[in-house]
Structures are given as C-alpha cells and as structure tokens.
Homo-oligomer: A and B are copies of this chain.
Amino acid sequence: METHDPLAVHPDNALVWHDGRLHLLDQRYLPDNVGFFACDSAAAVAQAIASMVVRGAPAIGIAAAYGVVLAARDAYEYRGPDWRRHIDADLERLAASRPTAVNLFWAIKRMRRTMDGLVGGDPAADLLAEAKAIHAEDRAANHAMGALGAGLIESPTSVITHCNAGALATGGYGTALGVIRSAHAAGLIRRVYADETRPWMQGSRLTAWELHQARIPVTLQVEGAAAGLMATGEIGWVIVGSDRIAANGDVANKIGTYGLAVLARHHGVRFMVAAPTSTIDLGVANGAGIPIEERAEIEVLSFAGRVLAPLGVSARNPVFDVTPAALVDALVTERGVVLAPDAEKIRALMGSSSF
C-alpha cells in the first residue's frame, strides 16, 4: 500500500517498522477502536503476540522476526560484541508466546540462521533487512496464492470464510482473503459469508472490516448458520487459512474449521486452504502432533466485559482444531496448488527446501 503516512490505518498496513520500532495495528478492539501498539523490545512483541494484539499465523511470524531484530539491537547495545550470548532469553520468550502457529518458529529459525551468518559489528541492519524480506516475501506469497486460488473457482459463486485470514493476519493482502480478493476482482465472488467466529469475533471485527473496505459484498452469520446456508446450494467453496499444516496435509486452523470441512463434504461444497509454505511443518507427521492452544475460560464465559454464565460454570476454549487432509479439496501455497493433499504431494511441493 502506498501512503505518505507510515501509520495509516488500513488492513494492508497492520505491521509497520517505523522509527526503529514495530508498530502493530491493535486487533483486539478493531474496528471500534483503531490504534497502533508500538513495540520497542522483543518482550513487548512477545506480549503483543500472546495477548492477540497481532494474530494470524503469518503475521505472528513476521512480528516475531522484527522481535528478533529488537532483541539483537538491545543485546548489542548493552553487551556489545558479546550480544549473541545474551539473546537467547528473548528468543525463547518470543517462541513461547503462542504454541500452534508454526510460522512463529519458522521465522525465529530463519532469523537465527541469518544471525549465524553475521560477522562482527552491529547486527541490527542485517537482521532488519532479513525481517523486511520475510515480510515482503509473505505479501508476495499472498498475491501468488490469490491468483492460484482464484484459478480454482470455475464460475461465479458465494463462499464461506471462517475467522480472519486476511491482510491483518499476514504481511498484507491475506491468504484466504487474498484468494477472495483476487477471485472477486475476476468476477468470481458473488458474496462472502463470514462466520463471526466466537469467542474473539475475528469474523465480525476483522474480516467484515477488511472486506467492507475492499468493497466485496460480505454478510456475517453465527457459526451455527453455516450448515443451513450450505444446504441452500448457494455456496461453492469454503476458503480458510491455516496456522500449521502437518506433513500429511492435516490442517490446524481456528476452532470451527474442522466442522465446516465436514459440513462442506456433506453438502458437496469444496474446501480450500490457502497458506504459505512457511505454515507447513514437515516436522509433524500428522495433525495429532500439532499442539493445540487452550486459552482462558473467561474468553468463552464473558463477552465485551459482561459475564454470561453463572459463577462456577466451566468452559473449554480450544483455539484451533485439526481438519484431516482427506477433507481438503485444495491446498493453495505460493509454490503451487496441491489438490487432495497427502504426504507424498506435500513432500514433492516442499522439495529439499523444507526450511
């Protein structure tokens, strides 16, 4: 996005390195309250990830990459040439911020590899260049996926999306919403039905905001309404992102995704996952190996400051679920489309560059 204001409020401008700090468009209160959360330390970035100032697997990875820059800058400032020996605590803090999105670990690993290649002097400029490369590559990957995913949609149709896999969840443009933006530009999207996505309401607050700004027709619905909508025959595709994809193609994504995939199969609706290869984790054989974050019960028991349930009642709050590869019709990555993904096809996609 071209703008004269580096901190212009726009979904495609949610992660901004400016004036030596990482500015994150605070996603906890969008769209009511718009503001940036400025991080000038790795600890601040870790806190921002843990508290969901920034969310979405690719965006978390990019934020962590900038977090490594801040960690190295601080270490060099206080320790000088010895900086490498004082950075591990910050990197561990970043890695511990959330467990499921593999892009976080991928980005930290990539930044560490860059660190390892540095010789002498202040590491900040080189690491910043690498973080910016990760950021730019993610945005480019989304545009590539947009074109590839749109190419799978044969005729104009309406689609369902879940949670927010948009510009806000990525370096810009979005994964699932990138596909939707490209498909809409090609005249292939009649309407997007966005699940509101309890308990954090990413659909109502973030996806509706993004699509409305992009002038793409969007209608919100409660999660429970998806099945009945599919039964009308109006929906051609469900299009979602992912937080981690196992080596066999099992997909971890926002809680509710797995149910949508079962419903899609039942109704003959096709199911597309759009995710960059940085989301693919060849280190876990299948979905059972993906750690699923459980967040606090109060996120389910209350909303907007109002406690809903009687005192003493418990809640379960798994944040993600796993969709078996067998329910995925198409996995769209920046390197290409994998139809009916399985371990062999994913190995072929990733080639030797499993990094």
Contacts and interface: CB of A to CB of B under 8 A. Distances in A.
Interface of A: 31-32, 162, 193, 195-199, 201, 204-205, 208-209, 212, 218-229, 231, 254-259, 262-263, 266, 300-301, 303-310, 312-318, 321-322
A288 to B, nearest CB: 11
Contacts of A315: 219-221
A30 to B, nearest CB: 9
Q: Which 10 A-B pairs have the closest CB atoms?
A: A224-B256, A227-B259, A228-B321, A198-B222, A204-B308, A220-B315, A223-B223, A304-B306, A208-B313, A204-B309
A227 B226 CA distance: 13
B222 A223 contact: yes
A235 B25 CA distance: 40
A245 to B, nearest CB: 17
Q: Considering residues A218, A309, A317, which has the most beta carbons from chain B within 10 angstroms of its beta carbon?
A: A309
Contact of A224 (B31, B197, B212): B197
B212 A313 contact: yes
B255 A301 contact: no
A263 B323 CA distance: 13
Nearest to A200: B222
B314 A219 contact: yes
A208 B303 CA distance: 16
B198 A224 contact: yes
Nearest to A266: B262
A162 B307 CA distance: 19
A255 B309 contact: no
Contacts of A262: 227, 262-263, 266
A221 B254 contact: no
Given A212-B313, A231-B258, A196 B198 contact: yes
Nearest to A265: B266
A322 to B, nearest CB: 7
A180 to B, nearest CB: 15
Contacts of A222: 198-199, 223, 255-256, 300, 317
Contacts of A212: 310, 312-313
Contacts of A193: 316
A220 B321 contact: no
